[in-house]
Structure formats: C-alpha cells, structure tokens
Amino acid sequence: MGGMQNKKKLLPIFLVIIGGLLGYYILQSGNQKPEHYISKKSKRVRTVQTEPLTKGSVIPSWTTSGFVSPAESVKVYARVAGNISSINPLALPGGILTKGQVLATLETVDLKLAYKSMQAQLEQAQASYELEKANQVLAQEELELINSSADLNIDESLVLRKPQLTVAKAKISVAQNNLDKAKLNLERTEVLMPFDGKVVTKTVGQGSKVSVSTVLFSVVNTNTYWLEVKIPHKFLSLLDKTQPVDISNARLWGEGKIRQARFVSVLPDLDSKDRQVKLLLAIDEPLTNDSNTPQVFINDFLTVNLKGKPINDAWTIKHSTLQADNTIWVVDKNRTLQKRAVEVLFKGRDVVYVNADILEDDRALAEKPGIVSVGMPVLTRKDRAKANSKDKLESQNSEANREAKKGKGLKGLKHAG
C-alpha cells in the first residue's frame, strides 16, 4: 500500500522531467537551421544560358530564289508572202522539234514561175552580151580599115562599142542576182525551226495567207533556261563563280532533291526595290529525260544555294549573339560576364562569321543580356543544376540527421520513463 502511494508521489516529478526534456528538444530543434537556409541568405547569382563557340575554315553560302525564264524565246515569221500549203504535225504548242526541222511550207507555184522568168532573163542577157562581143569584132575590123586609109582623130572606145559591152555585162549581173533571189525565195517557202526547242504558240493553219510581217509560231530554246536571282552586295566579293549552284523545289520535287545550275554573269542593273545585285544563272538540259533528275519548266520558282570562297579561322556565331556595337557577351572560365570585340566577315541568313580574340574557355551568352556589366558573376544552367542537386542532397542528409537525433531523444525519454 505504501509503495503505491510513493509511486503516485513520484509521478508528477516524472511528468515534469519529461516535459522539461521535450521542451528543451523542441527549443533546440527550433534554433537549428538547415545548411541550405544560409545559402538563401547569401547574394543571388543570375543563371544564364550559354552555348559553345566554334572556330575553323568555313564556306559561306547564300540562299535565295528566283523564277526560270527561257534563254531564247523568238517569234517565227514568214520570210516570203504566200499561202500555207502544209504544217508539220509536230508543230503544235508543246511540240518538240530540232534545229532545221520544217515547221510549215508555203505554196511554191508563183515562186517557181518567177524563178523560170528570172532564168530566162539571164539567158537573154547572156545572149545580148555575146551579140555585143561580135559587134565589137566587126567594129575593130572597120577601125583598122579607116586607120589604114586616112589619119583621122577618132574615139576608139566609141567605135569599138566598149560602153555597149559594159552595159551588156551589167545586164547579166542584174539577171543573175534576180535569179538568185528567186531561188532564195523558193527555199524560203520552208519555215524552219531556228534551234532545238518547243513550240509555245501556233497562229496559222493550212491555207492561211501570210506576209513577211505575219507571226507564224512562238518557240523557245530548251537546251538552256535562265534563272535570275539576287544577292547582297557583301556576298558578291565572296561568291565563288566557279562552283556549281544547287537549285531545288522541295514542294514539287520533294525534300533533298536537287540539281545544278552554273554561273553566267553579274547583271549591270541593281534590283529597283531592294538594291541588291542580280545574277544570271543557266540551267542546262532543263527537260532532261533522266528519271532521277527533276525537270525544270519556264516560270518555275526555285530555291538557289550559292557557295562562297572559303574563310579561314573564322568564329561562327548566331545573329542574336552579335550586339549593335560589334561585340559579343561571353561567360569566361571564372564564371563572369565579359565583352569581346569582333570583326564581322559576313552575315548569313542564319549565322555570322567573325574574327575575334575569344579565349579557349569562353562560351557565348545565348540569351538577351538585359542589365549586366563586365565582370558580373553568373552561373550557367548546367552549374545551377549541379548546385541544386548538391543542395537537395545536403538537405536530405540534414533531415536524416534531425530525424536520427529526434529518434535518439525519444528513446532516451523512454528509458528515463
């Protein structure tokens, strides 16, 4: 009975002791701060995105586009007047003909008659000339008789009929020329294809009456097409005119399919809108029969890739990296922002090639710099990720230590109880 009373008397004392221990533990736990808490109180460092800088020999290029046009497009006229007697069945719009093939033929009846008439006139002129030569022989004999009988002052050229002989010779020349012209007109009744190509339009039919001012056909040369493109002034000095030019049409030909053109000339006039330099390119065999090579048609809109001369030891940067004062921001090996001056060699559509004193460990700032200063400390996203991983691990270790201490404290209380 007395033992029970003693226990009851000691119970409040034990409760006070346990309460004191718990209060002390709670107080100590509140005063302990995690290690990462201190880092939050430290000065914040900006996190930036960077990208590597590459240096080497590069071949600049310029991508442009343009419309295809025929290298030769002509209107075929009749060279003599007359009626169309026949037309080549191939001489239809889209028809392919080779140089010298007959497009159409004119009636020859009238021209043959004219040829025969000119031939007769030539024969007549030749006969007149022979008669005049005979007359000259007679005149020579008469002159000799006169000179032997009397000493007379006579103009021998007139007596010998030299002027008449000259006229007879001239008539032969005129008749010969008329005959040649009549023969030529006969030959011109055949309208010929001026080059290898295609018929674009046909404006006459069999029986049409035509003159030398009548357009019979419009034809284009299919051996070569032209392609006119524009480039900026700065690329002209870098352009390698000896290199083939890649042309493509991804929408019609498919991705990755290209064929080649060649440089022809720099045109003398600038583009009236953007003042760029105009180039003339040539596409040979545009209508090739090779199934692996896409065909090119007039008015095709093609993408063109022009190659430049190699640039040695050039740094390649993005347009967004280059600042207005021809500098770039970099993060150096000490994780501070630095400014590097650059000399722009060429600005392409996607990248810029520059000369610069860039150090080995420099990395380009790949975002807008905003408000920054030279020497400002920064962290790259990679470094920040590593730091966050380290902080997380330290936080987990600290939490584990607190749990372990808490477990030990409770265990001590149980033993004390």
Mean pLDDT of the chain: 84
Q: Please tell me the CATH code under which domain 48-58+312-381 is placed.
A: 2.40.420.20
Instruction: Name 338's Cβ contacts closer than 8 Å, sequence gap at least 6.
Output: 329, 330, 331, 332, 362, 374, 375
pLDDT bucket at 7, cuts 50 / 70 / 90: low
| Highest-confidence segment of 66-80, 111-125, 318-332 | 66-80
pLDDT at 62 over 50: yes
Q: Which of 11-20, 94-103, 195-204, 366-375 has the lowest mean pLDDT?
A: 11-20
pLDDT of residue 310: 92
pLDDT of residue 165: 79
Q: Which residue has the tokens 């718990």?
A: 22
pLDDT of residue 230: 96
Strand ranges across the sheet with 96-97: 73-77, 215-221, 197-202, 96-97
Task: Kindly state the average pLDDT of the residues 166-182.
Answer: 90
Buried b (16+ CB within 10 A) or exposed e, 59-97: ebbbebebebebbeeeebebebebebeebbeebeeebeb
Higher pLDDT, residue 56 or 144: 56
pLDDT of residue 38: 46
pLDDT at 39 over 50: no
pLDDT at 41 over 50: no
Which H, E and C letters describe 128-166, residue by residue? HHHHHHHHHHHHHHHHHHHHHHCCCCCCHHHHCCHHHHH
Which H, E and C letters describe 371-398, residue by residue? CCCCCCEEEEHHHHHHHHHHHHHHHHHH
Q: Please tell me the CATH code under which domain 62-70+223-307 is placed.
A: 2.40.30.170
pLDDT at 36 over 50: no
pLDDT of residue 5: 58
Q: How many residues are given for the chain? A: 417
Taking only the tens place, the pLDDT of each residue in 201-253 is 999 999 999 999 999 999 999 999 999 999 999 899 999 999 999 999 999 99
298 phi-psi bin (left φ>0, alpha ψ -120 to 50, beta other): beta
Phi and psi torsions of 352, nearest 5°: -125, 135
**Paired tokens of 384:** 């920040």
Q: Which of 19-33, 42-56, 163-177 has the lowest mean pLDDT?
A: 19-33
Phi and psi torsions of 43, nearest 5°: -65, 135
pLDDT bucket at 17, cuts 50 / 70 / 90: confident
* pTM of this structure: 0.68
Sign, CA torsion 271/274/278/282: negative
pLDDT at 267 over 80: yes
Q: Rounded distance, CA 121 to CA 172, Å?
A: 9
> Which of 62, 68, 61, 59 has the alpha carbon at shortest distance from 249?
68
Q: Please tell me the CATH code under which domain 83-107+189-218 is placed.
A: 2.40.50.100
pLDDT at 134 over 90: no
For 30, counting Cβ atoms within 10 Å of its Cβ (0-12 exposed, 13-18 middle, 19+ buried), the class is exposed
pLDDT at 58 over 60: yes
pLDDT of residue 49: 87
